[in-house]
Structure 1
Amino acid sequence: MTKTNKKPLKPSTLTHWLAVGFGSGLAPKAPGTFGTIAALPIVWAMSYLSLYGFLAVTLVSCVVGIYLCGKTAEDFNYHDHPGIVWDEFAGMMITMIAVPMTWQYLLAGFILFRIFDILKPWPISWLDKHVDGGFGIMIDDILAGLMALGCMHLGMMWLN
């Protein structure tokens, strides 16, 4: 699978549409940021679930994302095409686990997740370069979400 195929994605299946974040990943600039923005209403709606419900939806999104992202990358012959943003959805869900759903926390979570996802500090950068397939597409954003989650909870402890 190539990493340099710059052909635009043309989603044709439900799997593709989910992988491109309902079309948000088709933005010509900053598709990962647009994908994360598209995840915000879903994350906010998930706040009405119990903690266990939130965790269950997040876990299912991560596991299903391995298939969605892997299949879409395979279909378009491009590993981790920038338009594949389901991993951003999952990462943002992880970021907001057990965090109060206010606009301030949602904004802080968004910023922290994007920082970790864009800068890719170690070990995120290592995983991004060395793990392939759907799992490889998902794991760096899962870890970015976990790092952002840790920062969110440290910040909440500091504020209280």
Structure 2
Amino acid sequence: MRVLLLAIASVGFVGYIPIASGTFGSLVAIPLLWVVDPLRQISAPAYVFGYLLLVVAACWVAGRAEALLQEHDSHKIVIDEVVGYLGATLFLQPTWRNALLAFLIFRVFDVVKPFPASYVDRRLSGGAGIVLDDVVAGLYSNLVTRLVLLLL
């Protein structure tokens, strides 16, 4: 069970890459834009509900993995990057331009952590602290991505 939990939290052990594990975790999420698109097309409420379920599940997994690893917000846990990136692409059409633009903007916001992402990062602990700052960064990224796409 420990190995399975760590495999999920590290997204197939991508988090164990020694440098830029967050970037690699986000890269792994790019194809998921096409995987989740049918749900977006069928039902907007189901799409949002599915995303919220993923956020809750990621919080649980990240919290358990943090306890197993005994490292605060370990770089090995990258499920938060996947959830954050999926927030950055909520309701975007699955095109390579959209996927890559959202990826770049998300990475900037994930590193910079503008308020309230920085507040969430400092104030929450455990799985919620690991995941929710990325959710905020992802939602910010979604808005900025849409603005950039309007200007292109």
TM-score using structure 1 length: 0.86
**1:47-75 Cα distance to aligned partner (Å, 9 max, x none):** 22233443233211101011000000011
Read off the aligned partner of 1:154 and give its amino acid letter: L
Q: Unaligned stretches of 5+ in structure 1?
A: 1-10
Read off the aligned partner of 1:128 and give its amino acid letter: D
* Alpha-carbon distance in 2 for matches of 1:45, 1:80: 28
> 1:119 Cα deviation (Å)?
1.3
Q: Where in structure 2 are the equivalents of 1:40-119 lying within 5 Å? A: 40-49=30-39, 50=41, 51-119=44-112
* Alpha-carbon distance in 1 for matches of 2:136, 2:45: 20
Match of 2:3 among 3, 13, 17: 13
> 1:141 Cα deviation (Å)?
0.1
Q: Unaligned stretches of 5+ in structure 2?
A: none
> 1:145 Cα deviation (Å)?
0.4
For the aligned residues, what is the CA RMSD?
Answer: 1.6
**Aligned-residue identity in percent:** 32
Read off the aligned partner of 1:29 and give its amino acid letter: I
Moved more, 93-102 or 41-50: 41-50
Match of 2:115 among 104, 116, 122: 122
Match of 2:137 in 1: 144
Relative to its length, the structure with more helix (as a share) is 2
* Alpha-carbon distance in 2 for matches of 1:52, 1:39: 22
- How many residue pairs get aligned? The number is 149
* Alpha-carbon distance in 2 for matches of 1:53, 1:158: 30
Moved more, 126-135 or 81-90: 126-135
Which 4+ runs in 1 deviate beyond 4 A? Answer: none
| Matched-pair contact (CA < 8 Å) for 2:88–2:138 | yes
* Alpha-carbon distance in 2 for matches of 1:83, 1:15: 12
TM-score using structure 2 length: 0.90
